[in-house]
Amino acid sequence: MTEKLVIIGNGMAPGRMLEHLLEAAPDRYAVIIFNAEPRVNYDRIMLSPVLSGEKAFEEIVIHGDGWYIKHGITLYKGHRIVAIDREAKTVTSDHGVTESYDSLVIATGSVPFIIPVPGKDLPGVLTYRDLDDVNAMLLAAQSRAKAVVIGGGLLGLEAAAGLKERGMDVTVLHVMPTLMERQLDPAAGYLLQKAVEARGIKIMTKANTKAIFGNGKVEGVELMDGTIIPATLVVMAVGIRPSITLAKEAGLEVNRGIVVDDRMRTSDPAIMALGECAEVGGHVYGLVAPLYEMARIAAARLADGEDRRFVHSDTPTKLKVTGIDLYSLGDFADGEDREEIILRDASAGIYKRVVLQDNRIIGTVLFGETADGAWFNDLKKKATDISEMRDTLIFGQAFQGGVSSDPLAAVAALADDAEICGCNGVCKGKITGAITGKGLTGLDDVRAHTKASASCGSCTGLVEQLLKLKLGEAYNPAAVQPMCGCTSLGHDDVRRLIKAKGLKTIPAIMQELEWKTSCGCAKCRPALNYYLVCDWPDQYADDYQSRFINERVHANIQKDGTYSVVPRMWGGVTSAGELRAIADVVDKFEIPMVKVTGGQRIDMLGIRKEDLPAVWADLGKAGFVSGHAYAKGLRTVKTCVGTDWCRFGTQDSTGLGIRIEKFMWGSWTPAKVKMAVSGCPRNCAEATCKDVGVVCVDSGYEIHFAGAAGLDIKGTEVLGLVKTEDEALEVIVALVQMYREQARYLERIYKWAKRIGTAEIKRQILDDTSKRKAYYERFVFSQKFAQVDPWSERVSGKDKHEFRPMASVGFAEAAE
């Protein structure tokens, strides 16, 4: 005879239990579910993406209506059980439905904790628990008004991020000094706060809520210290409590949760409990992994299957806010018998900490880069002795095994006269001599005594390695973010070593710097190719196979595999003849889209690769050359019409823009470089958000740099004012050359400038005339090899193979 199984609650834990049970004993039970929520089983963990708009509710449903029908399960939606009669073995819902059971499973989950302050019941005060809460928040968010989230834990931060994403002005109140203090150490809490604040969310720590106030609805929150924060929505996310009232009223043993044994049985043998409402071995759980383990055990017991028992284990915590990577696991408090390994990279916002006891991992906090979380978790679970890999443990799994990973080998092999610090001209011998001779012990000492690494700082990694080499374990340098998985060296180290060791080919770099892969990867090869092009313009043969396709075929690849073509229009000026030539090309090659770009020129999109050389040939006849719209190189110089036409113009901005573009086109740079010249401070060419910009004034030319108007928006900084066009050109060229020589591949000018510091750039470009002239000369020299129009080269037959298929086969057979 089929037994009757009644389940109270339809969350993730009982849902998973049913899946296991249906697999093990499909026909044994007639299943009846009472769900207080009026809907099917869904993935509660994914509510945050629903709130932020990254997912729709339909996408997070685990079991749709059809699933219940298919398995013959009766689901009472919107029925809350109000009584359990253990004598009669029945349950009764608030709608008056009574069902009898042979086995009963209580999975009532948890209820949000409401802090007992005045105003907690005002309309506009919500919790964050189920889909109804999310819908209410979404409704409130339409106002795009102010919201306060009380609680800086996992749920609170996810709610805050979601509300912010929906356009609200969000403040998070957290009672402790750092966020997520139960899962994170203070250092990671600090980084998390910075990352959350960077999204425009305000955070107030040590914020004790005194009252929520408002007349008929929420108007704001008052703190203990008297601070008033206006808000039309307050979300309480201060924690959850197991929902145990029903079990308690039925006379079952309860403590913090419903007490169950390690097979999920309550004090009544016919009743089991699982999920967030259950307490096993003194623990209650809120994360999904242990809840799923409970589900597996409960199903096994119901099916009289394997004798599986619940064992406590730590579960990692992850934050589900797009763009913030956070992972925490286990115990990470300091202790006398504990040791820790820490890696920090301030500029990349990375923090990793592994806590060890007896050479075994007991806790991990990862921020900014969490890919190795699972690996650390595994080592912890298996209690692996890590002493063998201790030195490289913190770098993660990719760095284990392999013998070649002595990061000091490359530096040790350097000759004494190899230049380490390019800014101040300091060689290796001078630094190592000072370390031993003067008994230096740290980076600051080396900076003070030798000036190495005291200017732009890009050689810091190498100086630290020299310290390590001389001082051994006594010195512990901060870890460097490697270029990619192929090396443990960072970009700056590689750039310095290319110069110091005179490395002039990619294979030479890979050999001398002990690359871990045979021929690199798509991350390091383009970077190395650029560094070599920049450093040895007259000697290095550009390796086209190490260039991204756009730079290899001098056009922009589109999503459908066709290309777009943008010819140069110097300073954004064109003519009837040029426009006519473009029109003819568009007609002849049936180019599907013609678009004016943001850089004052014309883009032809949808060109087949095979047609590119013919398109360029026609454009070339009209005098066009490549606009390098695809290049990590000089893109456009936008201009306004200046003194030629404009009644406000103070200088010939169009002329200067064209002059700069004609001087600098063809140069390769670490990332794209966009420029503009405006004829007066009204700034019609929008020069103040460019990589380099000029704003003309009566007294001369104000040189701007380090602006951004893409992923980041940032106004430029003023480098200085010069009196003549010639000076303006010299300063701009020198600045770009300094950037070319120092920046990391794909690093835009504003990021490089932030790293180096505006003061240092001004010092080298404006104050130090000989430095400026040297930069200028090196750029001019490099241009001799760079200013070749790649389109006309290819029209004359270079790289023919790129544009033609190797063969056409099989067509005859198909025609038969």
Q: Which residues are at the interface with other proteins (CB under 8 A)?
A: 517-522, 525-526, 544-550, 553, 557, 559, 561, 801, 805-811, 813-814
Residue with smaller CB distance to other proteins, 327 or 624: 327
Q: Measured from the CB atom, is 325 or 691 closer to other proteins?
A: 325
> What is the closest distance, in whole angstroms, from the C-beta atom of residue 812 to other proteins in the complex?
9
Kindly tell me which of 347 and 518 has the beta carbon lying closer to other proteins. 518
Q: Which CB, 544 or 645, lies closer to other proteins?
A: 544
**What is the C-alpha to C-alpha distance for residues 350 and 356, in angstroms, rounded to an integer?**
20
Cβ proximity to other proteins: between 333 and 807 the closer is 807
The residue (of 662 and 804) whose beta carbon lies closer to other proteins is 804
> Minimal distance in Å, beta carbon 738 to other proteins?
29
Which pair of tokens denotes residue 172?
């998070």
Cβ 484 to other proteins shortest distance, Å: 10
Nearest residue (CB) to other proteins, 256 versus 800: 800
Contacts of 49 (CB under 8 A, 6+ apart): 55, 60, 320
Task: Reduce the secondary structure of 691-749 to three states and give it as a string.
Answer: CEEEEEECCEEEEEECCEECCCEECCEEEEEECCHHHHHHHHHHHHHHHHHHCCCCCCH
Taking alpha carbons only, the member of 177, 136, 183 closest to residue 155 is 183
Q: Given the complex with other proteins, which of 518 and 770 has the nearer CB atom?
A: 518
| Residue 559: CB minimum distance to other proteins, A | 7
The helix (H) or strand (E) run that includes residue 585 is: helix 576-588
Measured from the Cβ of residue 422, the count of other Cβ atoms closer than 10 Å reads 18
| Nearest-5° Cα angle at 416, 414 to 417 | 105
The residue (of 330 and 520) whose beta carbon lies closer to other proteins is: 520
Distance CA 481, CA 497 (A): 16
Q: Where are the beta strands (DSSP E) in 86-227?
A: 90-93, 98-100, 103-106, 110-112, 125-127, 146-150, 169-173, 202-204, 209-213, 220-223
Rounded to an integer, what distance in angstroms lies between the CA atom of residue 706 and that of residue 717?
6
List C-alpha distances in Å: 795 to 45, 665, 751, 792. 57, 19, 37, 5
Q: How far is CA 416 from the centre of its chain?
A: 40
Please report, to the nearest 10 degrees, the dihedral formed by the alpha carbons of residues 33, 39, 40, 43 taken in order: -120
Nearer to other proteins, 269 or 561 (CB): 561
485 versus 720: smaller Cβ distance to other proteins: 485
Shorter beta-carbon distance to other proteins: residue 127 or 556 = 556
Structure tokens at 88: 């009669």
CB of 325 to other proteins, least distance (A): 14
Task: Choose between 56 and 519: whose C-beta lies nearer to other proteins.
Answer: 519
Instruction: Characterise 91 by phi-psi region: left (phi > 0), alpha (psi -120 to 50), beta (else).
Output: beta
Structure tokens at 336: 């006398």
* Nearer residue to other proteins within complex by CB, 587 or 816: 816
What backbone torsions phi and psi does residue 63 show, to the nearest 5 degrees? -120, 115
CA 177 to each of CA 182, 189, 207, 329: distance values in angstroms, whole numbers, following the listed order? 12, 9, 9, 20
Minimum distance from CB of 399 to other proteins (Å)?
A: 16
Do 421 and 459 contact (CB within 8 A), yes or no? yes
- Separation in Å, CA 660 to CA 163, 460, 678: 46, 34, 13
Q: Which residue has the tokens 């490395």?
A: 503
Rounded to whole angstroms, how far apart are CA atoms 124 and 231?
9
**Minimum CB distance to other proteins, residue 372 (Å):** 13
Q: Give whichever of 109 and 526 is closer to other proteins, judged by the CB atom.
A: 526
Q: Is the separation of the CB atoms in 730 and 776 below 8 Å?
A: yes
- Strand 278-280 with 271-273, pairing: unpaired
β-strand pairing of 110-112 with 103-106: unpaired
Compute CA 784 distance to the chain's CA centroid, rounded to the nearest angstrom: 39
CB of 519 to other proteins, least distance (A): 5
DSSP 597: -
In 98-198, DSSP assigns E strands to 98-100, 103-106, 110-112, 125-127, 146-150, 169-173
Name the DSSP class of 481. Answer: P
**Helix (H) or strand (E) run with residue 789 in it:** none
The residue (of 759 and 814) whose beta carbon lies closer to other proteins is: 814
Smaller CB separation from other proteins, 112 or 526: 526
Q: Measuring CA to CA, how many Å separate 771 from each of 423, 727, 788?
A: 10, 14, 27
Give me the least distance between CB of 657 and other proteins, in Å please.
32
State the nearest-atom distance from the C-beta of 521 to other proteins, in Å. 5
Nearer to other proteins, 451 or 516 (CB): 516
Q: Indicate the SS3 state at residue 78.
A: coil
Q: How far is the CB of 489 from other proteins (least distance, A)?
A: 18
Q: How far is CA 26 from CA 13, 22, 511, 512, in A?
A: 18, 4, 62, 64
Provide the token pair at 738. Answer: 């300094």
- In angstroms, what is the minimal distance from the CB of 814 to other proteins? 4
- DSSP per position, 300-356: HHHTT------------EE--BTTB-EEEEE-----TTEEEEEEEETTTTEEEEEEE
